[in-house]
Amino acid sequence: MTTLPTRRHLIAATASLLAFGGVALAQDARPAAPATAAAGTRFITVASTTSTVDSGLFNHILPLFRAKTGIEVRVISQGTGQALDTGRRGDADVVFVHARAAEERFVAEGHGGPRRPVMYNDFVLIGPKADPAGIKGSRDIAAALRAIQTKATPFVSRGDRSGTHQAELALWTAAGIDLAATRGSWYREIGQGMGAALNTASGMNGYVLSDRATWLSFRNRGDLDILVEGDRRLFNQYGIMLVNPERHPHVKRADGQAFIDWIVSPEGQKAIADYQINGQQLFFANASDSGA
Amino acid sequence: MDIAQSFAAAFALILGADPAFLAIVRLSLAVTLTAVAVAALIGLPVGALLALSRFPGRGAVIVLVNALMGLPPVVAGLLVFLLLSRSGPLGPLGLLFTPTAMVCAQAILVLPIVIAITRQLVEDLHGEYREHLASLGLTGLRAIPTLLWDGRFALATAILAGFGRASAEVGAVLIVGGNIAGYTRTMTTAIALETSKGDLPLALGLGIVLILLTLGINAVTYAASRVGARFAG
């Protein structure tokens, strides 16, 4: 207690304590005010998957869409299951995911739609080059999974209800393996995104199912490589849907529909097909295939 | 090897002054500093009030506030998420996936730290100077401004602790901000994203930049408190 403060001192003290914050408030005024942001920029929110974001596809196609329409697309990257839930709650205008059965359920329940097919890529089975399960070069994903299970070599599962996780579970079923009954410590569910699963597999030299796009753009490969590819059951279709504006009146119907119309238009489809990493095409546009 | 690459990445980020990167740094600072300011504005008076007032259940409140210093960021994020979701009670505000939502979540994380440390500090000061304050006619709650002013340097440390918690956390801002490129992507969510893309050197490089920023803010605060102490002395 060295000073006898006056009221004036106090005001100065409060001001100095909050000096940083005050600066921040002033800086934050623009981005933090949603009302002004909404008035200033037209934007839609799209709930999509880690594969489309991590692979860099959106960085490639969204500037083209914005240049044409002036609409900013804000993408949230989640697993397919979580992205569909974001749509169900009305927290996104558009859902762009890859798990057809789950998408059709979303539409049937009246949460949005109609579903439009957009593009596909494929899943690949990644594993250590040493290949303890001895499956390298096989085109039979079911036989490869049976070998992994028999030899109990580490397998990393997304375990997060994502499109890739749902595809993985369907493949175990196709291989005639009852995971619930036979899984042991070799089967490692991590409950995280594709990149985290690849990092984990890289760390423990395990097997993992990945979409090809994320694998191609993934940097921390360590000793991993593609071991099984080309099986028809590894096909991975993406679909897009508008969230039901009747259920969620704030959904930006016109701008969301504009994005969907653009992405299935020849121009949007070409933008998708043009996206490459190291000369390899990541996604194959197929909006014209009504059965996809 | 990777570590060396990370430092190279950090320097490239700083020297490159890429606009997208600067926007991420700016947003991180704006969100965290705003959250800390909000928490300080509420927490300092509430902490002092808690220190000087006596009411039934006061002990329970103190224990609760102290415990909330350990609130997991992901839980704070989830709470704000459920409140702000379009299907939640505050849904019509349309604040989910905005920087404002991130400020709310971080303020919730910082608030218990400010309240708890302020409460302890003011209580100790009051015990020491009660009679002196009374002789100046500052009894009861009227002593609060004086006590806060006298504890200002220790309180600045409390606020820095809050800043550290907010600037380092990723769980809450990821959930309520959505890590949207160019809009709600902060340093920590960018680090998480680059990690998931397997670009570990860039992720660690971003981490180095974040630590340097935190270092800078602490250095400025320390210098300011030294200058302040000289004038006060």
pLDDT digits (tens, 9 = 90+) for A198-227: 999 999 999 999 999 999 989 889 999 999
pLDDT of residue B191: 94
Low-confidence ranges of chain B (pLDDT < 70): 1, 233
* Helices B99-135 and B73-84, axial angle in degrees (round to 10): 110
User: Looking at the predicted structure, is the pLDDT value of residue A26 above 70?
Assistant: no
* B66: closest CA of chain A, how far (Å): 22
pLDDT band (50, 70, 90) for residue A36:
very low
Nearest to A31 among B38, B99, B228 (CB): B99
- Among all residues of chain A, which has the CA nearest to that of B199? A219
The torsion of the CA quartet B176, B178, B183, B186, rounded to 10 degrees, works out to 80
pLDDT of residue A7: 44
Three-class secondary structure assignment of A56-87: CHHHHHHHHHHHHHCEEEEEEEECHHHHHHHH
Q: Give per-residue pLDDT as tens, A3-15.
A: 444 444 444 444 4
Are the beta carbons of A59 and B181 separated by less than 8 Å? yes
What is the homologous superfamily of the domain B14-232 according to CATH?
Answer: MetI-like (1.10.3720.10)
Mean pLDDT, chain A, whole residue set: 87
pLDDT of residue A54: 83
pLDDT of residue A206: 94
Q: Which of A7, A10, A11, A17 should one mutate to test binding to chain B, selecting the residue with the greatest count of B CBs within 10 A?
A: A17
* Phi, psi dihedrals of residue A28, rounded to the nearest 5°: -80, -10
Instruction: Enumerate the H helices of B151-199 as residue ranges.
Output: 152-168, 171-177, 187-196
Q: Give per-residue pLDDT as tens, A160-176.
A: 889 999 999 999 999 99
Q: Give per-residue pLDDT as tens, A37-87.
A: 445 689 999 999 988 888 889 999 999 999 999 999 999 999 899 999 999
Task: Specify the 3-state DSSP secondary structure of A286.
Answer: coil
pLDDT of residue A264: 97
pLDDT of residue A40: 66
Q: Give per-residue pLDDT as tens, B117-137.
A: 999 999 999 999 999 999 998
Higher pLDDT, B86 or A30: B86
Q: Which sequence spans correspond to the domains of chain B?
A: 14-232
* A181: closest CA of chain B, how far (Å): 31
Residue B85 C-alpha from the chain's centroid: 23
pLDDT of residue B233: 58
Nearest to B233 among A2, A45, A250 (CB): A2
What domains are defined for chain A? 34-120+237-285 (3.40.190.10), 121-234 (3.40.190.10)
User: What type of residue sits at position B144?
Assistant: I
B231 in A contact zone (CB under 8 Å): no
Q: Which of A20, A60, A85, A243 should one mutate to test binding to chain B, selecting the residue with the greatest count of B CBs within 10 A?
A: A20
- Among all residues of chain B, which has the CA nearest to that of A3? B232
**The model's pTM:** 0.84
Nearest to A28 among B99, B221, B232 (CB): B99
pLDDT of residue B231: 80
